[in-house]
Structure 1
Amino acid sequence: MLSLLILFSVYISIFLLGMFMLKAGLYALSGHRLKKWLLHFTKTPFQGFLTGTALTALLQSSSAMMIITVGLVTTGYLTFRQSIGIILGSNIGSTITTEIITLDLGASAIPMLLTGAFFVFFLRHRISYSIGMILIGLACLFFAMKGFGDLAKPLASYPVVYEWLKKTDRSNLLGIAVGMLLASIIQSSAATIGITMGFLHEHLLTLPAGIAILLGANIGTCVTALLASIGTSQEAKLTAYTHLWLNIAGVGIFFFLIHPLASFAGSLAAKPDVQLAHVSVLFNVLCSVAALPFTRFIEAWITFIHKK
């Protein structure tokens, strides 16, 4: 059991390393223009929404996007109102990662890794370096996803893990709690969803249980922004609180739609892990688009409940 848990931890580390490498490569391609784009294209909530979606997809991390946003609000370059549109967009942009990791490219991981290493260490050019980092990051993601799938059955053979899986299948609230806890500890909702996909792929979890974990992960990932807001301005704190409250509200609504969502996802794809990725996109798009027209109300409400 201990050796499996250590190996599982190694795969989580490889996944997070892949996320970091992918993010670093994409960021290197854009240079320091990300902040300029963020400042220039966020004058209205809709612009902020589109910019948040695009830049989060580019960064491959809603947490990184939130850290940048909180930092810009702290320094006064962005207002709290502008940050709301960015938050809504970042929730959609983050779903690109879950769609990428459903691609069945495990056999290509080693060639991708070797090609990326060649680009990074032997071609002395910024663009070549960036492409190499992206390839290495993708290789790590696909390798880790294969590892999650391979370890799912051996882990499930232990009574403790088996009982936990069964309890999660029976209780959506427990699934949400598990997703929150994992995403808070790992500091990545994508990694949490990736682990869940591994169990789904081996049919060790039902899709409703996977959706519940996904919903919890959306709340757990807010911890990063809350930590980043410690010691910052009041407006920056409000930005972090908004990220948390919007995700809690979305999860509260969709908690009652878990089984209808699971049924609908069955018509979108054959594999349960791909179905979960599609549910992630659907959940975040619906929540963000529904909230976008009410940015003024959201601003007033968050300011009221968190006023000094």
Structure 2
Amino acid sequence: MEWFDLLALAGAVAVFLFGMELLCTGLGALSRDRLRRCLMQAAPSVWRATALGAAVTALVQSSSAVTVVLVGLAASEALTPEQAAGLIAGANIGTCTTAFFIHIGLHAGWMGVFHSSWPLLLLAVLLPVLLRRRCHPALFIGAGLTALMTGMAHMQDALAPLSGSPLFARLLAQCASPLSGLLAGTIVTAVLQSSSACIALLQAVSASGMLSLGSVVPIILGQNIGTCVTALLASLRAGRAARQTAFLHLLFNVIGAAAVFPVLLLIRQFCPAWLAMPADSGAIAWVHLACNLSAASVFLPLRRVILARMTQNSPPQTREAAV
């Protein structure tokens, strides 16, 4: 890969992340108070809380943003641990809608507009206004969607030369190993602090036809773990309840990886042809959803055991203060 391609790819990822930030800012400005009230009034039923978390995250398009709000609500004791567990599971399910939106956008006829330089020029003109954060939320949302689609289109353009790169082929071959793929997904997502950007990058790479289902699954599991860094950082100075909520988020994704990995290894052993199938952007979206549903199906039945262990391991003075 040439240095120009690397710089182009880095710029496309930066535009995509900028679009995610603008979109979250616009949606948050429209529904910030409603979002907090909605999460605070989560139903006692953990299954209803899960559905609520999924719906809210699908609307806001950022599981990290929803999880940070949950950490803040937990710190103020506005949420019970049972509600937080359900909302966290729902947030991880709801974030899967982003990959489906990207898949639809990649195959839409109007996507060709974003391969040109005009959207970038428009964003450059609007940048001084957007940085002041004094404009209408609708402008943030529109600019965010434009930046998202532009970043996605230019990711594809920058990654197109990779189909003939031996270095990139060797790199993907190394990530085909379950452990190395898990580690790569975790590190990249922890650095970018956006699982949506990593999924989008993975979907852009899939256009080269060099990704298989066997290499995609570990990377997605690693991305789910890496995205927990945002909530963990937000909880450091927010009290024990907030740290427990952030730890529940991490535990959800670790349990999901532990549940999917044995199945993945069994398939590699007995049906390797399944994992050798090429993965396109649609397959990546479905795999992402399947992994998070699997994690929820294991985490939610175990939530009471997990919460009981967390309470037992808390210092006595913390439990007395809670009483």
Tell me which interval the TM-score lies in, with the shorter structure as reference length.
0.7 to 0.9
Gap change, CA 1:43 and 1:8, over 3 Å in 2: same
Matched, 1:130 2:137: yes
Residue number in structure 1 paired with 2:320: none
- Deviation of residue 304 (structure 1)? 4.1
Give the counterpart letter for 2:204 in structure 1: G
Residue number in structure 1 paired with 2:26: 25
- Deviation of residue 24 (structure 1)? 2.0
CA distance in 2 between counterparts of 1:262 and 1:198 reads 23
- Contact kept, 8 Å, 2:47 with 2:86, in 1: the verdict is yes
Deviations 1:49-79 (A, max 9, x none): 1221111112111111111111111122223
Q: How many residues are paired up?
A: 297
Matched, 1:149 2:156: yes
Deviations 1:91-137 (A, max 9, x none): 0111111111112242244798869x99xx8xxxx9x9434332322
Paired residues for 1:167-178 under 5 Å: 167-169=174-176, 171-178=177-184
CA distance in 2 between counterparts of 1:129 and 1:41 reads 29
CA distance in 2 between counterparts of 1:54 and 1:79 reads 19
Matched, 1:230 2:236: yes
Of the candidates 277, 280, 287, which is equivalent to residue 285 of structure 2?
A: 277
CA distance in 1 between counterparts of 2:273 and 2:168 reads 23
- Deviation of residue 23 (structure 1)? 1.6
Give the counterpart letter for 2:247 in structure 1: Y
- Contact kept, 8 Å, 1:49 with 1:85, in 2: the verdict is yes
How high is the TM-score relative to the length of structure 2? Answer: 0.82
Q: For structure 1, list consecutive stretches of 5 or more residues without a partner in the other structure.
A: none
Gap change, CA 1:220 and 1:261, over 3 Å in 2: farther
Residue number in structure 1 paired with 2:112: 107
How high is the TM-score relative to the length of structure 1? Answer: 0.85
Give the superposed CA RMSD.
3.0
Instruction: Tell me the SS of whatever aligns to 1:35.
Output: helix
- Contact kept, 8 Å, 2:61 with 2:98, in 1: the verdict is yes
Q: For structure 2, list consecutive stretches of 5 or more residues without a partner in the other structure.
A: 317-323
Gap change, CA 1:183 and 1:305, over 3 Å in 2: farther
Residue number in structure 2 paired with 1:4: 5
Give the counterpart letter for 2:52 in structure 1: T
Residue number in structure 2 paired with 1:79: 80
CA distance in 2 between counterparts of 1:306 and 1:161 reads 47
Percent of pairs identical after alignment?
Answer: 32
Give the counterpart letter for 1:56 in structure 2: T
- Deviation of residue 290 (structure 1)? 4.1
Gap change, CA 1:292 and 1:208, over 3 Å in 2: same
Paired residues for 1:210-289 under 5 Å: 210-258=216-264, 259=267, 263=274, 272-289=280-297
